[in-house]
Amino acid sequence: MLRNISKEELGRILENRTVAEQLDLHEILLKDMDLSGWDLHNINFNKSDFRNVNFDHADMSYIKAENSFFGGSSLCGTNLHGAALRTADLRGCDLAGADLGGADLYSAALEGANLDGIKTDDKTKYFRLYCPKTGPFIAWKVCFNRRIVQLLVPADAARVSGTRNEIRCDKAKVLSIRSVDYRESYEEARSYVDEDFVYRKGEMVYAGNFNPDRFIDSGGGIHVWMTREEAIAYMA
């Protein structure tokens, strides 16, 4: 059960916080309030729910907001430097101009979010494209009966990735199909999701439903991983 905190109560808590210590406000509910410009840095907001909260230009650097929900909230120009946002739900949020330098966005939901002008750096985790932007690369996937398919994604293939290691592409060539233990080879393998989508050794496969929106996790395309181990772990 989330603890509902009013704007006034939050203000009192912040006034009495200990300098340089992380304030623990995990599993709280904030709703329908304007916190624009507030100093909210270094707070543990893990598993919290922010409904229709205005965080514009607030200092939320180094917060923890893992598995938190930001439904209907605005974070325009917000300082989120170093924020832990793993599995945070930021769908539809306005993040225009936000500073995400050094932030951890693993599996954060960003579908429909406004990301215009956001600031990232080389320490921002799980935001940049996971696979090579250009050129061919080798990819892997697990099919029905745990048949491991090795694929060549060609240089002209469209490719996207969101905030996880999973990649989607629009076409690939099947190089090999092997068992997990490498003991058996196969000529074909069927997709877990669509049994009519068949991978045949030596042939190209095409995804007619490829969706170029990188932040739609279940979007159309051939879902692949950069390593055999990642593919197997995903289907474990």
Residue 60 vs residues 10, 49, 182: alpha-carbon distances, Å: 14, 15, 49
Mention every residue, 6+ apart, whose C-beta is less than 8 A from residue 146.
Answer: 179, 180, 232, 235
SS3 assignment, position 51: strand
pLDDT digits (tens, 9 = 90+) for 6-55: 999 999 999 999 988 999 999 999 999 999 999 999 999 999 999 999 99
Is residue 143 scored above 90 in pLDDT? yes
- Torsion, Cα 75 78 79 85, to 10 degrees, reads 0
Predicted TM-score of the model (pTM): 0.92
Mean pLDDT of the chain: 96
CATH class of 1-128: mainly beta
The structure tokens listed for 83 are 């924020």
pLDDT band of 193, cuts 50, 70, 90: confident
Residue/partner pairs of 182-189 with CB below 8 Å, 24 or more apart: 186/147, 189/143, 189/144, 189/145, 189/147, 189/149
The residue whose two tokens read 């932030």 is: 103
How many Cβ atoms sit within 10 Å of the Cβ of residue 34?
A: 13
CA separation (Å) from 148 to 180, 218, 233? Answer: 6, 21, 12
The three-class DSSP label of residue 98 is coil
Spatial separation of the C-alpha atoms in residues 141 and 225, rounded to whole Å = 6
Instruction: Compute the distance between CA of residue 39 and CA of residue 11 in angstroms, rounded to an integer.
Output: 10
Can you give the pLDDT at residue 20?
86
Residues 142-171, mean pLDDT to the nearest whole number: 97
pLDDT score for 162: 96
**Residue 221: both structure tokens together:** 């395309």
| pLDDT at residue 49 in the model | 98
Angle at 88 between CA 83 and CA 93, to 5 degrees: 90
Q: What residue segments make up the domains of the chain, in order of their start?
A: 1-128, 137-234
Given this model, what pLDDT does residue 219 score? 86
